[in-house]
Structure 1
Amino acid sequence: MFRGIDEVDWASLRHAYGSAEDVPGLLRGLASADPAERETALDGMYGAVHHQGDVYDSTLACVPFLLALAVREEVRDRAGVVELLVSIGDIDGASGALAARAREAVRAGAEVFVRLAGDADAGVRRAAAGAVVRFLDRPERVLALVRERIGVERDDRVLIALAEGLGAFTQRYRPAGDPHAAEAVRLLAELSGPPYGPGLRLAALGQLAACAPERLPADLVPAVVRLLRERSGQRTRSAPAPDCPGGDTLAGRLRRLRPSDEEGSQLLRTLHSALGSRVADRVALLCGQLTSPDALDRCNAVWMAAGLFREWRTDQAEPVTLIGTQLGAEEDRLHDAAVAVLVELHELAAPAADSLHALVTYRPELRIRHRERGGPTLGGPLKALARTGDTRAVPVLGEVLAGPVVPHDLGRVIPHLGRAAAPLAPALRRRLARVPLDGPDTQQRAVPLLSALTALGDVESLPAVLRLLRGMPEELPGRDAVTEAAVRALGAFGSAAGEAIPDLRRLLETDCAVAAADALWSVTGDVDAVLPALLGALTDPGSGPHRRAAAADVLGRLGPAARPGLPGLRRMTGSGDARERATAACAVWRTAGEPEQVLPVLRSAWTEHPRTRTTIAECVAALGPAGAPLHDLLRAELASPRRHLADSGGSGIHADLGLVRVCREALAGEGAGRRQSVALAGEGCRLDASRWHRPRRGHRQTPPGDTGRERAPTNAAR
């Protein structure tokens, strides 16, 4: 197995963490009789030699030894070795000269995988099924081998891997018109029907959906739901997997994180992914999964629903309601999955609000989550209920505020409740007044409370805000974050925060200058007092893109009064940072009223950098009828079924819903002759089309290009 291993100059080779002189020990560890040593060695291979899918010269040097290990029957866990080889030589893997050489090295050993396709170890056969398709070059031989193995194989997991191999084969050869691909499709269609078992049939349907959707049955969704329930009925409940013998290794942690029914999860994930934009079918399939008698099927469906909602704007009421019904499940895994997904959905979780309210009402122990580190936080059910905007969360939050332990993030959910949360203001105010000025957790405790009071516009909290602003020690960790949050609160209070004017003027000379200028303008309406700080932020070499963009945003809202900033703003429209570029272009438009200069910048940013779309849409909304040159982009956004701000953490859903609302707000001012109905969820805001800009509280503002016309009336409450 290791002939010649000591002749390799491993010290001169590299892996992710430097010299590869430890690689021979890892290779030998893969052949160890000790399970813990094998696990640690495999962890080391993935962690260093094949780190995050990369290949190094040491990776290339390992391939012959890994191939030798794979064929030695006395080596345990050879399936893991074959999977590592497949990953190293994956045809869809990394690019570059070393990656190409690694692929060729694995391809040169393809006969090993042919041999392993009939190995006595089912795990090895399963891993080899995909390797044969990827690395054996002659399509007629590959197809013959897969067909042969299907005829003799009895292990369901290996049969599923063979079906997946047929799908990969079809996707590889069908685009080139290879006739063998048609035979592979025929085999998949055959495997998708009786007399084959439900798992194999589900796998075949998933592969057909990806490579030959025209061969799918007309009753796809009912058929899949029937197969899923048949499979669940056949599946015996296995005992929980034992702890990984290798201890806290990467491979062991990944194994423990896998779903209880990993195979079922993968089968349905493959099908959902292949169905792609067939969203109606996917929603119907989810509803079928969520009503399954089997808790594992429902748990898989909950996580798949999250993936669908992150990507697509669709009618989610029925599946979300069904997710809400899982909150009463006895299985902790299912209950926890439902809570996690509903928290992520924000206002989209509204159809489950009744279930969430019942849970926080009858299980008060779930209102607060106690953690070993970081202090207490809101429990998931209460956080999800508040994020929907459901007013029933308000009295529950009031009870939490009255208790001995207040979650540090409670203040972050208040903005979702709007003015309905006003009864919480006195308690929030008292809590803020008791935050220590010099504690290690001052930032963690103060910022959420300040955010909540800012959202409520609670002028009565002014003394507590000023106490923080004036009393924190200079050296306090997180002081700048607390200062900025306090300044934003003062800006929200508007002219009622007149007592804070000296404090805000003082902050114009600090790193919080932009936020202070924004707040000072809101309190006083004195443009001359804030322009120097904003212009300084634009030109200061030490200002980063975030600070410059923030300054540009405030200048844009100042309107024509910000004309001294136009040279700097125009330079920023050529910035390499997309957000800075878009914000500056919007500011130029709002300040100079010259859209032709910035429209190309905004259009390119909108297309190339979707995260700038909300900034641009807010600009168009603020401009009213003058924003018409970009209305086509907003209409196209509202017509799109796909979210452009999706991510895996839920913030993308919330950001996308905000983008949709802003687009609707902007288009609401097009005029009665061009009104348009947009069938999307969310509450739109009426935009006063007589205004060119949205004035800040307590000051006035002139439309672009106006030199002597009557000024727009003061907006008393934004």
Structure 2
Amino acid sequence: MFAGIDEVDWASMTHAHGPADDVPALLRGLASADPAERERALDGMYGAVHHQGDVYPCTLACIPFLFELVADPWVPDRGDIVELLTSIGGIDLGSDDEEEIGEDEAEAAANYAMAAAAVSAGAGVFFPLLADDDPGVRLSAPLALAALHEDPARVLALLRARLAAERDEEVRLALVEAAGRLALRHRPLARPVADWLGGLAAETGPPGLRLAALAQLARCAPCSLPGDVVPVVTGLLGQLRTSSPGPGGTRARPVEPPGPGADAVPASLRGQVRALSAEETAGRAAPWTADLLRTLHTGLDDRVAERAALLADQLRSPDPWQRVDAVRMSDRLIGGRRGSYEELVRLVGEQLAVPEPRLAEAASHLLEGLFGLAAPAAEALAERVAADPGAWVRTCPDGRTQLGSAATALARLGDPRALPALTAALAHPLVPYEVGPGVARLGEAARPLAGALRRRLGDAVLDERVYDRVGPLLRALTALRAGAAAPEVLRVLREAPDSAGGWLRTAAVRALASFGPAAGCAVPELRALLRRTGTAEAAEAAGALWAVEGDADAVLPALLAGLAARDADARRAAAGVAGRLGWRAAAGAPGLRELLSDGNLWVRVDAGIALWEVSGRAEESVPVLLAAWGQNHRVRVRVAECLARMGPVAAGSDAARVLLAELTSVRRHNAPEGAYGSHDTYTDEKLLALCRRALPEDTGNTGKEPT
């Protein structure tokens, strides 16, 4: 084995972490009799030689030796090597990708193409592995063939034949998954694959196999799913709950224990991942069920009602693990698709009271991100918060604190029952960030906290950690418009270190602006900031001075200078303040018109909004705002807010068409598949409510306020 390995000039090549002269040792480590050494070698292959899917010249040089390892029945853990080869050869550059490749990426693209060609050319070695004695090899071989072999019809025939002979349940599921992959990769096979999968799903076979067939049908041929797919799937889940593990092994495949002396060796990254996976699947009768259901949900895609009904059934399951999975999948569904989720959210709320900590924690984290959509779970959240004061505030390893997820969710609902948790959070040395937004959501219900907020701000040490110390306090006092705290805010404005950055001065100035005339003590400092002509700070100070003194003429010069500034932040800040002044800032209209063609999209949006506020002429601003709407989804809430303030737009207008298109889209505007932020659901729901307000009643306006 490894004939010619030392003749390769490894030292002339590199990988992700430097010279590739360590690659021969990694390849030999993959064949070691020591499980710990094999684990380290595999970790090195993924961490350096095939780092994050990259293919280097040294990766290409490894391919023949990896095939040698796969073909040798005496090499342990060959299934892992099959997966490595599948990953190296499985990167597909479509025509769209090739058109977008720049000169700098051409070499990498060539490496991917050469890897795909080399692994595909040797993929015939995977055929006998379908019947290998090692179930781990049989588990990896089907997907390798589906992803890499260039004779898909032959692969499909062998997958079907092998399914009839295979007795290991997980391997049977892998065979079905590989068929779905074939149908996606080779569309002419979609119909025969769908027919086969449909037959498997309809048979009276093992429920896991039928569920796998339905999942792959949803993935590659969703039109072939049965009309009653939800009751069929729920029935299969019920069978899986009541069936005991059979001789094929429905339980998780055990992780091989480390060899002698392994305790002295730091765990590899892949070893840690496997340990976490083993912990996650421990005690589950059919740990692969979650993966099948995730595949099914991906295939069902925008069929929100069916997906919600399926998850609701899972949340009623007596199996706590099915409920854990359902909560996690509900998070993905609600965060990515619009729909009616009252019943689903109520069922998630019921999980807060269960004794299984992972289930309750998953439920509270989901509800935390829903804001107003969490209303059906309000009572459950309030009970959870009242019953567990110890979870109101959590301390991080670096000393920072966080408001517990259940308390945060309750505060984001604007529920006064979150007040005790917010009060407790104010007693901590570092007030959790979530207190500021929480107070803002509670509004007047949080007024009793104003005194404590003022005292904490007055006592805060203005050192290098000033952001952590005063940020949430300023946010909360701004929301409450607590003018009595003006002296404490003024201290922050005067004494905070320069290293804190402009954000802190901006936050302090905005707090003073919210206080209005009650912040009269800050006028000298605000006038001093006003003299920093052409900066964002000067524009913010202008807005605060106008709020305190009401003299628009005194601040207009600073705003006009801001509109003409070179700094985009200054232009945006000046436009925002001009919009708040409205007709009083009419002198700024020419400058705002010039900014409608600014190179910065956000400046164009802010200028368009401000110009309408100043002039009242929507025909100048709306085309610019609608163009930005299509260019960047992140501006849509700002644009919709402006359109809603303008009043119902004319039916049939460009604005009405844009708003109606948004309202009829199932997908959230800011949540691409698989990735969304903690506030994205809230932001999208706010956008929908604003769109309804901006439209005439007969085109969809329900009058519903943002949640």
Q: Please tell me the TM-score bracket, short chain as reference.
A: 0.7 to 0.9
Bigger drift between 513-522 and 59-68 goes to 513-522
Cα offset, 1:567, TM superposition: 6.2
For residue 707 of structure 1, what is the aligned residue in structure 2?
A: none
For residue 102 of structure 2, what is the aligned residue in structure 1?
A: none
* Matched AA of 2:476: A
CA distance in 2, matches of 1:326, 1:46: 38
Contact 1:590–1:623 (8 Å) recurs in 2: no
Identity of aligned residues (%): 48
DSSP-derived class of the 2:67 partner? helix
CA distance in 2, matches of 1:33, 1:493: 72
Cα offset, 1:135, TM superposition: 1.6
CA distance in 1, matches of 2:330, 2:127: 39
Bigger drift between 163-172 and 586-595 goes to 586-595
For residue 204 of structure 1, what is the aligned residue in structure 2?
A: 213
Contact 1:375–1:408 (8 Å) recurs in 2: no
CA distance in 1, matches of 2:613, 2:649: 9
* Matched AA of 2:694: A
Contact 2:176–2:216 (8 Å) recurs in 1: yes
For residue 185 of structure 1, what is the aligned residue in structure 2?
A: 194
Cα offset, 1:319, TM superposition: 1.1
Within-5 A mapping of 1:232-311:
232-234=241-243, 247-258=266-277, 259-260=280-281, 262-311=287-336
Within-5 A mapping of 1:451-470:
451-470=475-494
Cα offset, 1:540, TM superposition: 4.3
CA distance in 2, matches of 1:467, 1:306: 43
Cα offset, 1:580, TM superposition: 3.3
* Matched AA of 2:307: R
Contact 2:190–2:221 (8 Å) recurs in 1: no
Match of 2:506 among 462, 484, 489: 484
CA distance in 1, matches of 2:432, 2:91: 49
Cα offset, 1:218, TM superposition: 2.5
1:503 and 2:522 matched: no
Match of 2:159 among 146, 165, 169: 146
Q: 1:362 to 1:599 in 2, by over 3 A?
A: closer
Contact 1:447–1:481 (8 Å) recurs in 2: no
Within-5 A mapping of 1:697-712:
none
Within-5 A mapping of 1:76-475:
76-92=76-92, 96-174=109-187, 178=188, 180-234=189-243, 247-258=266-277, 259-260=280-281, 262-401=287-426, 406-438=431-463, 440-474=464-498
DSSP-derived class of the 1:117 partner? helix
Q: 1:121 to 1:604 in 2, by over 3 A?
A: farther
Contact 1:43–1:251 (8 Å) recurs in 2: yes
Cα offset, 1:386, TM superposition: 0.8
1:518 and 2:543 matched: yes
**Structure 1, unaligned runs of 5 or more:** 685-718
Cα offset, 1:482, TM superposition: 2.7
Cα offset, 1:556, TM superposition: 3.7
Cα offset, 1:285, TM superposition: 0.2
Contact 2:311–2:330 (8 Å) recurs in 1: yes
* Matched AA of 1:642: R
Contact 1:443–1:481 (8 Å) recurs in 2: no
Question: TM-score scaled to structure 1, two decimals?
Answer: 0.86
DSSP-derived class of the 1:551 partner? helix
Q: Deviations over 1:25-60 (max 9, x none)?
A: 322222233323322222222222222223222222
Cα offset, 1:533, TM superposition: 4.0
Q: 1:457 to 1:183 in 2, by over 3 A?
A: same
Question: TM-score scaled to structure 2, two decimals?
Answer: 0.87
Q: 1:82 to 1:429 in 2, by over 3 A?
A: same
**Structure 2, unaligned runs of 5 or more:** 99-108, 246-250
DSSP-derived class of the 1:69 partner? helix
CA RMSD in angstroms comes to: 2.9
Within-5 A mapping of 1:540-619:
540-541=565-566, 543=567, 545-559=568-582, 562=585, 569-570=592-593, 572-575=595-598, 577-591=600-614, 595-619=618-642
Q: 1:40 to 1:411 in 2, by over 3 A?
A: same
Cα offset, 1:584, TM superposition: 3.2
* Matched AA of 1:252: G
* Matched AA of 2:77: D
Contact 1:342–1:384 (8 Å) recurs in 2: yes
Bigger drift between 315-324 and 418-427 goes to 418-427
* Matched AA of 1:118: A
CA distance in 1, matches of 2:24, 2:669: 47
Bigger drift between 146-155 and 581-590 goes to 581-590
Bigger drift between 408-417 and 488-497 goes to 408-417
Bigger drift between 512-521 and 377-386 goes to 512-521
Cα offset, 1:532, TM superposition: 4.3
CA distance in 2, matches of 1:596, 1:664: 21
Contact 2:89–2:115 (8 Å) recurs in 1: yes
Q: Deviations over 1:535-591 (max 9, x none)?
A: 4445544x2x45543333333444455566556645544455433333333334444
Q: Deviations over 1:193-224 (max 9, x none)?
A: 33321211111101111222233222211111
Cα offset, 1:652, TM superposition: 0.7
* Matched AA of 1:623: M
Within-5 A mapping of 1:18-97:
18-92=18-92, 96-97=109-110
Bigger drift between 15-24 and 610-619 goes to 15-24
CA distance in 2, matches of 1:680, 1:12: 68
Contact 1:310–1:650 (8 Å) recurs in 2: no
For residue 694 of structure 1, what is the aligned residue in structure 2?
A: none
CA distance in 1, matches of 2:333, 2:289: 18
Q: 1:518 to 1:40 in 2, by over 3 A?
A: farther
Q: Deviations over 1:263-308 (max 9, x none)?
A: 2221110001100111100010000111111111100000000001
DSSP-derived class of the 2:3 partner? coil
Q: 1:682 to 1:562 in 2, by over 3 A?
A: closer
CA distance in 2, matches of 1:170, 1:626: 47
* Matched AA of 2:472: P
1:622 and 2:645 matched: yes
Contact 2:63–2:118 (8 Å) recurs in 1: yes
DSSP-derived class of the 1:428 partner? helix
Q: 1:235 to 1:612 in 2, by over 3 A?
A: farther
Bigger drift between 102-111 and 247-256 goes to 247-256
Q: 1:484 to 1:404 in 2, by over 3 A?
A: closer
Within-5 A mapping of 1:645-684:
645-646=670-671, 647-667=675-695, 677-678=700-701, 682-683=705-706
Cα offset, 1:458, TM superposition: 1.1
DSSP-derived class of the 2:460 partner? coil
* Matched AA of 1:455: A
Contact 2:687–2:706 (8 Å) recurs in 1: no
DSSP-derived class of the 1:413 partner? helix
CA distance in 2, matches of 1:580, 1:54: 38
CA distance in 1, matches of 2:428, 2:620: 57
DSSP-derived class of the 1:369 partner? strand
DSSP-derived class of the 2:202 partner? coil
Contact 1:459–1:497 (8 Å) recurs in 2: yes
DSSP-derived class of the 2:186 partner? helix
Contact 1:29–1:38 (8 Å) recurs in 2: yes
Q: 1:326 to 1:469 in 2, by over 3 A?
A: same
Cα offset, 1:226, TM superposition: 1.6
CA distance in 2, matches of 1:549, 1:3: 66
